[in-house]
Amino acid sequence: MILPPHKRVIQTCLLMLSMLLSAHLLNGQKVTRIEIMNAELTAYDQVIGKDARKLLGDVRLKHEDVIMFCDSAYFYPSTGTVDAFSNVKIIQGDTLTLTGDLMHYNGKTKLVRVRKNVKLVNNEITLLTDSLNYNRATEIAYYMGGGILTQKDNTLTSGRGRFFVDSEIFFFMDSVVVNNPDYTIYTDSLKYDTQTEISYFYGPTEIISDERYIYCENGWYDTQQDVSFVTDNVYLEEEGRTLRGDTLYYEANEGFGRANSNVEIIDTAENMILKGNYGLYYRDRDYIMVTDSALMIQIDGPDTMYVHADTLRSLQNPEIEGQSRILKAYYRVKIYRPDIQVMCDSLVYVEADSAFDFFGEPVLWSAENQLTASQIRVVMVNQQLHSMYLTRTAFVTSRKDSDKYDQMRGKEMTGFFTNNKLSKILVTGNGQTIYYAEDQEIIVGANKTECSDLSIYLKDNKISRVVYNTKPDGTYYPLKLFPTEEAYLSDFKWVEQWRPLNYLDVFRWK
């Protein structure tokens, strides 16, 4: 059958295209032969194969850029494979050396199987195992029966592993342990970049040294720089402190840590916990900062204190050697403790003095009493309330009923506590009082008095009596005759609605 001219042209083109594709595929699949470079004795052995050769004594074979050494071998030219025995050694290029007792090599697939006393050396890396497969085509080596990798001071062991020869990256699985003179790492799975000496963790991981303990379930560790970034259920223990967070970045040499989200710093020596969503830690400066929903918890049994602010800082007192610390809280500060509550703009606590200083329109509540001043200082002794000092426009208020308030105003006030209850207040300078008199718990009148200095005594946090230390100038009014315009002293305010009634209320601002 004779095809029309145009069909013959198409057929010719298809044939040429087929030939070109075949040639390309054949060229791509071209397999180089394994060369016998040396053997003291060479013989054909029909028992082991039709064209099999038995090589004995100082055997050397070459395939592409690989040279193989052994004491004896079976060589199968038709399949391009080699079985090597005793003192097996493979050299690839000028970086990789692989030794073992037994080897099978397939020249077509470029797969090397080495068994017993296997040792792989690549640049500064040494891998020991008992069974290793190395695919030269993909440049991936892997072992299943346990292996030990060493590089400089690092030793890594695992049940299984893969080594990417070109990039010098290892993947370790099953009971991974990294040993270094300065630390030990335990993890389920680990990726190790031998060029950067950075380890990447996947699964529960512990990093343990004499100085610190780190736990995480994901992250990386730079073994050269001693820097880590870890995530998922993270915590770090160091020098009596525990640092937690969703993520943690830590430079061990600098002693610097940064934590994000659900941050918690526990100081066991101080019985103190700092919480927030962002935290900084400087070990050598003994400095801690937390912000974003910051909360300090000073643990003292039923008298545990909760301090909230936009930012909390805990640092070493620069004026006193030793362990004396300073706590600073900035902006929108609220404190809850069962026996005392505070609201202010900022505070400073000096551990050496056991004193809190409250700034920025501070308000302090003690039972039924509200205390305000330009500045308030509270002094603790053995974690108990001892005394307090109110300076400039000091004011004490307590509610008698819905619209009646006992009030004491002065230039300065000093308060004293007994069993954490306010028991006495001394007013110094420009003292003024409004005190409602009762008869059988019924309000019957009001005393409005001015006296430069006076003393106020309280029982169960309630005013029991007032002593005017200098000549007072006062007036008693029967309740019905007490003028409404006289019912409040200058600078009076009542802000009970801002008072924190439990530890959760410290996050409620006004």
Long-range contacts of 26-33 (CB under 8 A, 24+ apart): 31/80, 31/107, 31/108, 32/63, 32/64, 32/107, 33/63, 33/77, 33/80, 33/107
Question: Residue 482: is its pLDDT beyond 80?
Answer: yes
Distance CA 122, CA 128 (A): 12
What's the chain's average pLDDT? 87
Mean pLDDT throughout 61-73?
A: 94
Are the C-beta atoms of 54 and 47 separated by less than 8 Å? no
Sign of the dihedral defined by the CA atoms of residues 363, 365, 366, 369, in that order = positive
Query: Residue 225 contacts by C-beta under 8 Å, 6 or more apart in sequence?
Result: 251, 253
Distance CA 286, CA 313 (A): 11
Question: Residue 261: is its pLDDT beyond 50?
Answer: yes
pLDDT band for position 284 (cuts 50, 70, 90): confident
pLDDT band for position 6 (cuts 50, 70, 90): very low
Mean pLDDT throughout 386-394?
A: 92
Question: Residue 460: is its pLDDT beyond 70?
Answer: yes
Residue 109 has a pLDDT of: 93
Query: Residue 155 contacts by C-beta under 8 Å, 6 or more apart in sequence?
Result: 148, 149, 178, 179, 180
Residue range 113-124, pLDDT digits in tens: 999 999 999 888
3-state secondary structure of 254: coil
Residue 125 has a pLDDT of: 87
Span of 27-41, 355-369, 454-468 with lowest mean pLDDT: 27-41
Residue range 123-163, pLDDT digits in tens: 888 999 999 999 999 999 999 889 999 988 889 999 999 99
Mean pLDDT throughout 476-492?
A: 91
Are the C-beta atoms of 247 and 231 separated by less than 8 Å? yes
| 33-120 CATH | 2.60.450.10
3-state secondary structure of 471: coil
- Closest of 444, 439, 440, 430 to residue 476, by C-alpha: 444
- What single-letter DSSP state applies at residue 33? P
Q: Using DSSP bridges, classify how beta strands 147-151 and 53-63 pair: parallel, antiparallel or unpaired.
A: unpaired
Residue 9 has a pLDDT of: 42
Residue 4 has a pLDDT of: 54
- C-alpha count within 13 angstroms, C-beta hemisphere, residue 193: 12
Residue 325 has a pLDDT of: 82
Share of the chain above pLDDT 70, in %: 93
Distance CA 408, CA 450 (A): 10
Mean pLDDT throughout 22-36?
A: 57
Residue 30 has a pLDDT of: 53
3-state secondary structure of 123: coil
Residue 501 has a pLDDT of: 93
Phi, psi for residue 416 in degrees, rounded to 5: -130, 145
The kind and range of the H/E element at 12 are helix 5-28
Instruction: Name the residue type at position 497.
Output: Q
Residue 17 has a pLDDT of: 41
Residue 90 has a pLDDT of: 94
Residue 186 has a pLDDT of: 94
Residue 140 has a pLDDT of: 94
In total, the chain counts a number of residues equal to 510
Question: Residue 7: is its pLDDT beyond 90?
Answer: no
pLDDT band for position 68 (cuts 50, 70, 90): very high
Sign of the dihedral defined by the CA atoms of residues 224, 229, 235, 241, in that order = positive
Question: Residue 269: is its pLDDT beyond 80?
Answer: no
Residue 477 has a pLDDT of: 93
Span of 45-49, 230-234, 296-300 with lowest mean pLDDT: 45-49
Question: Residue 382: is its pLDDT beyond 70?
Answer: yes
Q: Which residues of the chain form CATH 2.60.450.10?
A: 33-120
**CA distances, 460 to each of 11, 125, 382, 484, 500 (Å):** 112, 76, 21, 29, 20
**CA distances, 306 to each of 74, 193, 297, 360 (Å):** 79, 46, 5, 19
Residue 23 has a pLDDT of: 37
- 289-313 b/e (C-beta count within 10 Å ≥ 16 → b): bbbeebbbbbeeeeeebbbbbbbbb
Residue 322 has a pLDDT of: 63
354-510 placed in CATH 2.60.450: yes
pLDDT band for position 275 (cuts 50, 70, 90): very high
Distance CA 185, CA 207 (A): 5
